[in-house]
Structures are given as structure tokens and as C-alpha cells.
Amino acid sequence: MAFTYPYWRESISCELKGSNEDDYSNLIAKIPGPKGSPYEDGIFNLDISFGTQYPFQPPTFKFITPIYHPNIDNSGKICLDLLRMPPCGSYNPAITLESILLSIQLLLASPNPDDPLNSEAADLYKANKETFNIKVRQCISKSSTIPEQKNINDGPAAKRAK
């Protein structure tokens, strides 16, 4: 099963992780880099895990595709208030998966270097944005997936119906 959220240059898409069509606890998302940002030429894969406490606890998001960003560490963890419980964060059970994925995409366009997980990237972003942008593009050229269009009708459930 796959579904897409059209936004900016390409669509954000999600599909089931693994072959069990009844297990929605683990997804893979593909997020295109925002147009006009140094990430615009990349498509970034994220692992999404919904724990047993979901929706009362936020899902876990982790970049699979290596990325150079002030708010994403080398292991792919993301620093975003929306992914943390209050009082330190702003997650609540009414927030949709679509909203979170769009917020992650917006984070790519607008890093917050004052709350970094990758201090080297944050320092470079503050000191020399052009050099930062060059380093981002180099990382993308080495590791980003090739853009592909996913259609909601391309998933395993659609194949069974054909």
C-alpha cells in the first residue's frame, strides 16, 4: 500500500515496510527536497515506526538516506518539537501523519541552527551559508535516491485487486 501527499516539487509518499500487508506499524516515507533549498535535488527516505502507545505517543521518524542538516544527526534522528511530547515538545494525538511529514519537509527548507543535533552543520550554516549549501549538495549527490513517482495504486493491495 502506498499513498502520496502532493506538495511543492514532488509528492511525499509512504509505503509499508516489509511484506506484511496487515502491519501498518512500520512505514517508509519518501520526502522530496523542498524546491529552492539546497535539498531540492534529493529524495529522502525515512523510517517511521508507530509504537504500541500511538497515537498517545508520537511515532518515531528516522532518516535512512544520509543527510547533512543542523537538526538531523548522523544516525538520522530528527530534532523537531512536533516529534516530542509536551512540555518539551508540541506533539498531540490530533496531529496527522501528513502534518508531520510536511513539517519535516519544511525543516529541510528552514533549519533551526539554534537547536542542533548536528553542531558542525549548525555552525557552518550560521558562519557560511554558501559553503553549507555546497556541502549539502555534495551529500545529496552521494546518497539521495533517484526521484521516482509513486502512485497510490502501485501498492501490494492494488496488485492483488488486478
The CA angle 75-47-154, to the nearest 5 degrees, is 145
CA proximity to 1, closest of 155, 128, 159: 155
Q: How far apart are CA 56 and CA 151, in angstroms?
A: 30
Interaxial angle between packed helices 119-127 and 129-143, expressed in degrees from 0 to 180 and rounded to the nearest 10 = 130
Cα gap 112→41, rounded to integer Å: 21
> Which of 14, 79, 88, 139 is an active site residue?
79
Question: For residue 58, what are the contacts with CB-CB under 8 A and spacing of at least 6?
Answer: 82, 83, 84, 85, 89, 91, 95, 100
C-alpha dihedral (98, 46, 40, 101), degrees to nearest 10: 10
Q: Is-catalytic flag, 88?
A: no
Which residues are catalytic, by number? 79
